[in-house]
Structure 1
Amino acid sequence: MSDFESTPYQNPLIERYSSREMAHWWGPERRFQTWRSLWIALAESEKELGLPISDTQIEQLKAFRENLNLDVAAEYERIRRHDVMAHVEAYGDQCPDAKPIIHLGATSCFVTDNADLVLIRGALELVARRLAGTIDALGTFAAQHRALPCLGFTHLQPAQPTTVGKRCCLWAYDLVLDLHEIEHRLEQLRARSAKGTTGTQASFLQLFGGDHEKVLQLEKKVSEKLGFSDSYAVTGQTYPRKVDSQILDALSGVSQSLHKIATDIRLLANRKEIEEPIEKHQIGSSAMPYKRNPMRSERICALTRYVISLQSSPAMTAATQWMERTLDDSANRRLVIPQAFLAVDASLVLMQNIASGFEVYPKTIEYNLAKELPYMETENIMMKAVAAGGDRQELHERIRVHSREVAQRVNAEGKPNDMIERLKNDAAFSAVEFDTEIDPMDFVGRSPQQVDQFIAEHVDPIRVRYGGKSDLSVEVNV
């Protein structure tokens, strides 16, 4: 077999990672069917406003809306080197009566840009539903473990305890904020509609004999037929490329949150406190059979890092659109926009899967916390000593010195933490009545109540708003 006969490169976002729903959403059939829907919407609107377009022509266009002759279009594009005109001619071959009025008054960006906006809208809606499903799963997990104390970390060093549920709320809240941003981008999305070659609507004004009101009505009608309540106020040849930059900012934001969550899960798996689900016959390593690697979380980090890296492309494209537009946006957008959605979709599928099947090890969590609790108790002991008349700064220094000695004992010599015994024998703390046993719940503050409040105020409204539409759990791909 020659090199030319071998299988070409396959995009792993399609072959391995994204859901079938998102992959097909950006496929050629949906795109070109959307183009045809746009030509139908334009022709219908022009007919309604008095242009000589017949019912027969409209019906012929509708009859072949989904009956695509992509092979014919591909041959025309090989000859014409113009994708839109290739599809105009291919559509015209199927609809000979309607051929004279296909694309009437329009520029290429009438179909390409309006179709992209329709596809972006649908993809954002799917991302929103996946976010809602992931937030729902995290909320359920947080409620289950609202009062399970665990060691907190700042600077990745042991800090004041929190609860497993409260930490999960930190993850969920980032995604809640991301969902608000995705919803905002959806609310702000508009149609380009019928703006003409450089955004002046000159061609449509010519078609309607200088009637400005009919041009405005055409723009409104086309927008509504596409499902948009409005169109962008002014455009050049394209809709503002600032919009693409804003969309990628939002997708990057989702990716940043997922990367942080997945990284935390990987760190917790290292501590044997929480692990992602593992299938019965899953292999962690080809060399080390005992390995249980957090492969889902690692994949999320890989995919979301890719999306974050894509964020700069639409920003640079928006910054370099000379005058009314340049074509250096086209190839870049064909790559960046679909692939960002595909990677975010794959990452959300994975995160919902993880959040729905966390494995928690309370005994290990308790053990790890117990090793550090004596340090945590020192703050309470210091406050009691101050209340008994001690000097806060002097007491702080005594605790600091003791803690360094204890750290040497624990870390270098492998001996138990004897912090409390040291303070009991320190005259500076003689007025303090030491508790016989340290209760971890004394250190978690309002964590359980914060979980309850967060779920009631932020998670439950999302559950109500999305209802069954967020139940999008799908099988995790290879």
Structure 2
Amino acid sequence: MPGHDHATSLAASTSLADAQPPIALGALDGRYRGVVAPLVDHLSEPALNRARVHVEVEWLIHLTEREVVPGVRRLTASEQEALRDVVRGFGAAEIEEMAATERVTQHDVKAVEYFLKKRLTRIAPDPGDRGLAELIHFACTSEDVNNLSYAVMVKGAVHEVWLPRATALVERLATMASDLRDVPLLAHTHGQPATPTTMGKEVAVLAWRLQRQLARIEDAEFLGKLNGATGTYGAHLAAVPEADWQGISREFVEHLGLAWNPLTTQIESHDWQSELYADVARFNRVLHNMCTDVWTYISMGYFAQVRGQGTVGSSTMPHKVNPIRFENAEANLEVSNALLDVLAATLVQSRLQRDLTDSSMQRNIGSAFGHSILAIDNATRGLDGLDAVPAAMAADLDDNWEVLGEPIQSAMRALGARGVPGMEEPYERLKELTRGRRIGRPELVEFVRGLGLPTDVEERLAAMTPATYVGLAPALVDHLR
């Protein structure tokens, strides 16, 4: 078959897997690398190993500083700095060395331990100090190091990369809301013309929702534990029974900038991760809502894509400027949420005292945040390329005078409640005038003047237009922080 022959010819081509430098399989490390690169310092595999080295170094310093193990000397200030320099200088050579060690140990955390023992021998070469190396990874299970490493990494990724970009996007949206606070807009509930608002107020609703999610994420707790193989401090007490191991553990975890979890199995329970990822996913969903709304406003002509749009909109239709930034953002938000949802659902589960599902699952945290970052970048660039078109909004308002049926019947209801005669069945009378038909200003004014309203009410309603019937919409924008 021709299709089969074509497939065979592709398979016989030079293998792209052999190309150098290696070709990325995923879009985040290929096409979109430049946007998400800052996350590599926090959520990549080498970043995990660097964080493990950081935790092991700080644990060694913590134990010796507090003389937890009797008879073991304190590290000098210069030795402590030298150990911390190992973390600060962790780069390509160290990554390769650790990978080579892991190929021998077949255990990633053990490779970190051996890596650091080599460094400590160089930093404290005196034969009398050889015992110091035994305090690297002292009384720890691998998960003591891993849970603390992930907490430090995720906290860094959130506060140093994700939050600044998300905050900048929301601030951009809030500025846009302020700029458009007084621009009248025909609302569309259920896709139908509805009570007018302002574009600023509608944008402010989205900014307000996103601000609330940012506040939750900013207040997120990042928990950690260091309590041994099943969370009992068994090895700790067996080695040094007189030490206050709970106090030592708590002080160490808090020294790393984390909140201490006092009750765990072998693993830290990851509930904080589930909570965080649910909040980030909710932010993503509100942002997705913003993208679809803005996309729709663009399609209605309420926004023009003019700034920074030197792109090809269509390969065949020269006139097109497609809202690609918002469409790209939608797709990446959906991928991000698929990953965040499965992380949140899976990480809170563990068989008895420990299984390894979380180990594989947590390696997807970077991808989840990467797709969110990519979406935020696209949405921000999309907003930066928009100009409002008040004339288009005004034209739609002027074509829909029937939306003033609501304020007229509401005024009639208020008058009827006060006993003013002739105000019976206001809803039904406006329904008869407006439903299923288009009316203009002449028809509406004629209707109003025939109702027998008090003069002040009649003049107020007769002067009203769809563009002025926006209620408190402009003032509501001021609720934004």
User: TM-score, structure 2 length as denominator?
Assistant: 0.83
Task: Report the Cα distance in structure 1 between the residues aligned to 2:53 and 2:82, rounded to whole angstroms.
Answer: 12
Q: Which deviates the most, 426-435 or 109-118?
A: 426-435
Indicate which of 92, 102, 117 corresponds to 2:136. 102
Task: Report the Cα distance in structure 1 between the residues aligned to 2:66 and 2:239, rounded to whole angstroms.
Answer: 11
Task: Report the Cα distance in structure 2 between the residues aligned to 1:123 and 1:314, rounded to whole angstroms.
Answer: 16
Per the alignment, residue 219 of structure 1 pairs with 249
Q: Which deviates the most, 35-44 or 345-354?
A: 345-354
Please say if 1:341 is aligned against 2:369: yes
Change (3 A) 1:131 1:150: same
Please say if 1:191 is aligned against 2:208: no
Whether the 8 Å contact between 2:347 and 2:361 is mirrored in structure 1 is no
Whether the 8 Å contact between 1:138 and 1:172 is mirrored in structure 2 is yes
The within-5 A match list for 1:21-420 is 21-50=38-67, 51=69, 52-53=72-73, 55=75, 58=80, 61-65=83-87, 66-68=89-91, 69-96=94-121, 99-125=133-159, 126-185=161-220, 188-192=221-225, 194-208=226-240, 210-213=241-244, 215-228=245-258, 230-275=259-304, 278-335=307-364, 337-372=365-400, 374-383=401-410, 387=415, 389-393=421-425, 395-406=426-437, 417-420=438-441
Instruction: Using the TM superposition, give the Cα deviation of residue 391 of structure 1 relative to its aligned residue in structure 2, in angstroms.
Output: 4.7
Task: Report the Cα distance in structure 1 between the residues aligned to 2:248 and 2:177, rounded to whole angstroms.
Answer: 51
Indicate which of 419, 427, 443 corresponds to 2:469. 443
Instruction: Using the TM superposition, give the Cα deviation of residue 84 of structure 1 relative to its aligned residue in structure 2, in angstroms.
Output: 0.9
Per-residue displacement from partner, 1:116-167 (whole Å, max 9, x unpaired)? 0001111221333223222221221111111110111211221101011101
Per the alignment, residue 5 of structure 1 pairs with 18
Per the alignment, residue 128 of structure 2 pairs with none
Whether the 8 Å contact between 1:145 and 1:163 is mirrored in structure 2 is yes
Change (3 A) 1:277 1:76: farther
Per the alignment, residue 11 of structure 2 pairs with none
Whether the 8 Å contact between 2:52 and 2:149 is mirrored in structure 1 is yes
Change (3 A) 1:392 1:308: farther
Per-residue displacement from partner, 1:16-49 (whole Å, max 9, x unpaired)? 4443322432234433222111111111111123
Instruction: Using the TM superposition, give the Cα deviation of residue 313 of structure 1 relative to its aligned residue in structure 2, in angstroms.
Output: 1.6
Instruction: Using the TM superposition, give the Cα deviation of residue 61 of structure 1 relative to its aligned residue in structure 2, in angstroms.
Output: 3.1
SS at match of 1:161: strand
Per the alignment, residue 409 of structure 1 pairs with none
Task: Report the Cα distance in structure 1 between the residues aligned to 2:100 and 2:370, rounded to whole angstroms.
Answer: 29
Q: Which deviates the most, 438-447 or 168-177?
A: 438-447
Per the alignment, residue 471 of structure 1 pairs with none
Whether the 8 Å contact between 2:333 and 2:371 is mirrored in structure 1 is yes
Change (3 A) 1:206 1:324: same
Q: Which amino acid aligns with 1:206?
A: A
- Percent identity over the alignment is 23
Q: Which amino acid aligns with 1:107?
A: T
Task: Report the Cα distance in structure 2 between the residues aligned to 1:120 and 1:275, rounded to whole angstroms.
Answer: 38
Task: Report the Cα distance in structure 2 between the residues aligned to 1:318 and 1:255, rounded to whole angstroms.
Answer: 20
Q: Which amino acid aligns with 1:291?
A: K
Instruction: Using the TM superposition, give the Cα deviation of residue 356 of structure 1 relative to its aligned residue in structure 2, in angstroms.
Output: 4.2
Per-residue displacement from partner, 1:432-463 (whole Å, max 9, x unpaired)? 557666434531001111112x13xxx2xxxx
Instruction: Using the TM superposition, give the Cα deviation of residue 333 of structure 1 relative to its aligned residue in structure 2, in angstroms.
Output: 1.5
Greater RCO, 1 or 2 (C-alpha within 8 Å, sep 6+): 1
Instruction: Using the TM superposition, give the Cα deviation of residue 261 of structure 1 relative to its aligned residue in structure 2, in angstroms.
Output: 0.4
Q: Which deviates the most, 151-160 or 378-387?
A: 378-387
Change (3 A) 1:46 1:422: same
Task: Report the Cα distance in structure 1 between the residues aligned to 2:51 and 2:430, rounded to whole angstroms.
Answer: 70
Change (3 A) 1:320 1:298: same
Calculate the aligned-residue CA RMSD, in Å. Answer: 2.6
Task: Report the Cα distance in structure 1 between the residues aligned to 2:371 and 2:305, rounded to whole angstroms.
Answer: 20
Q: How many residue pairs are counted as aligned between the two chains?
A: 436
- Structure 2 residue runs of 5 or longer lacking an equivalent are 1-13, 126-131
Whether the 8 Å contact between 2:43 and 2:154 is mirrored in structure 1 is no
Task: Report the Cα distance in structure 1 between the residues aligned to 2:101 and 2:431, rounded to whole angstroms.
Answer: 79
SS at match of 1:15: coil
Change (3 A) 1:296 1:339: same
Per-residue displacement from partner, 1:252-292 (whole Å, max 9, x unpaired)? 01101100000101000100102456524211111222111
Task: Report the Cα distance in structure 2 between the residues aligned to 1:44 and 1:316, rounded to whole angstroms.
Answer: 36
Task: Report the Cα distance in structure 1 between the residues aligned to 2:462 and 2:17, rounded to whole angstroms.
Answer: 78
Q: Which deviates the most, 20-29 or 39-48?
A: 20-29
Change (3 A) 1:15 1:277: farther
Per the alignment, residue 410 of structure 1 pairs with none
Per-residue displacement from partner, 1:282-331 (whole Å, max 9, x unpaired)? 11111222111111111111111122222432343245311222101111
Q: Which amino acid aligns with 2:86?
A: F
Per the alignment, residue 472 of structure 1 pairs with none
Whether the 8 Å contact between 1:251 and 1:307 is mirrored in structure 2 is no
Whether the 8 Å contact between 2:186 and 2:197 is mirrored in structure 1 is yes
User: TM-score, structure 1 length as denominator?
Assistant: 0.83
Q: Which amino acid aligns with 2:338?
A: S
Instruction: Using the TM superposition, give the Cα deviation of residue 424 of structure 1 relative to its aligned residue in structure 2, in angstroms.
Output: 6.0
Whether the 8 Å contact between 1:265 and 1:275 is mirrored in structure 2 is no
Q: Which amino acid aligns with 1:118?
A: V
